[in-house]
Structure 1
Amino acid sequence: MACSRGAASPDAHTQRRLFAASAGYCQNPGCSKELFVDAAGESIHVAEMAHVFAANDGGPRAKPALSKEERGAFENLVMLCANCHTLVDKAPDAFPDKMMLGWKREHANKLQGLFGAVKFFDRAGARQVVEPLLAENHAIFKRYGPHIEAANNPESGAAEQWKRKMLTRILPNSRRMLAILDANRHLLGDNEKATLEQFRQHIDDLEAFHIEGNREDASRFPGDLPKILED
């Protein structure tokens, strides 16, 4: 997903932030194409980071007053599929900066609604939304995780299958849970808030590993998370 434009290219943190903000879908509301697609059992990403204001002075929607760092900042980038990226750059007059920034806001609002990231009045209501996501992620991990016997066989395809499940299900589900839990911090006890922050770092580490290829050891999944919001 990276581009080679020096300081105008987003750093690793910005790339993860863009992926999280997109939730795996093109941010053009007229498209909303999945950015990770299955093909012959492999996960192929079609995600591209589009500059709202061009990375260079001669590019689409150029704004020479911006520094290279500002051009590579999160605020100046939109996550699009390859087709939409081509469209916005080849026909910049049809896709002005205000429109593209509007896409990003609309996408965020849509996701907030889809994720159910609203405040609940009681713990049971919030738990009812979080529990199915926890259950799905656990079921995927149990069946496809790196601990299974097939994962030790490089010819089995298990590693590729696990990565595909991670990108298309586990990470989006986890980001959804974070959004819900953040919106309902008022319902969490002190220990649960600590568990939430451990989960946040765990997801950040997983994204760094599976999206960027960062080989540093990831923090462990917090063991108390499956019980969060239980009474």
Structure 2
Amino acid sequence: MIGRRMGMKMAGKKVQGIFIDRPNRFEAIVEIDGQREVVHVPNTGRMHEMLLPGTEVVVEQSDNPRRKTQYSLKFVRKKGHWICIHSALANRVFEEAVQSGVLDGVKGELSREVAYGGSRMDFRIEGNPPTLVEVKCVTYEKEGLAMFPDAPTVRGQRHVDELIRAVEAGYRGMIVFVAFMDFVTRFTPHCGIDPILGAKLKEAAEKGITLRAFTCSIDFDEIALDREIPVCL
């Protein structure tokens, strides 16, 4: 248990609505105060099990007049809990936790978006040897189990391959799965969606790469890592 503390802040006015439809990966139709609005979806995953017509959602309102859409979809209600679907925020939540010094075994100067091989690793943590870190946002849940991915990810497969090569070259490697929800109890790769990634994660663990998973405390204006949960391969 990491413990409740100040987390990553999410500025902007939050407005509740009802999900209607998702015409493409980047846009959704949400009913807000009786009006149907086109909103930006900051997650390219499928989210079929969450984005059902009539589902409660929370959007963030922008005051930028140059934006194509006034709102961005941020939270989806599932099983009485809120799940954050803004996948890019996972890196910031992890970075905040490291800089706060609350993660066991993760200490050192942090660098973002570090090139290695043919990829960019999310983070490099200085040390002897340094650690390359990939952070994955988890929004898929089934029967209390957090799972990743919810769509095949060739990019994710490539990142695992690069981490394996880095460890073979003398680095340390870590993959962190940030579940943007507070009610799951375990994490496992979604081999039914991407069996190749599932196999690569098992290989990564066998090669010495550390796999860790965390739940998050969820608030409309703040998100923070909360509990570490078991990774089941």
Task: Tell me which interval the TM-score lies in, with the shorter structure as reference length.
Answer: under 0.3
Structure possessing the higher radius of gyration over alpha carbons: 1
Q: Would you tell me which structure has more strand in proportion to its own residues?
A: 2
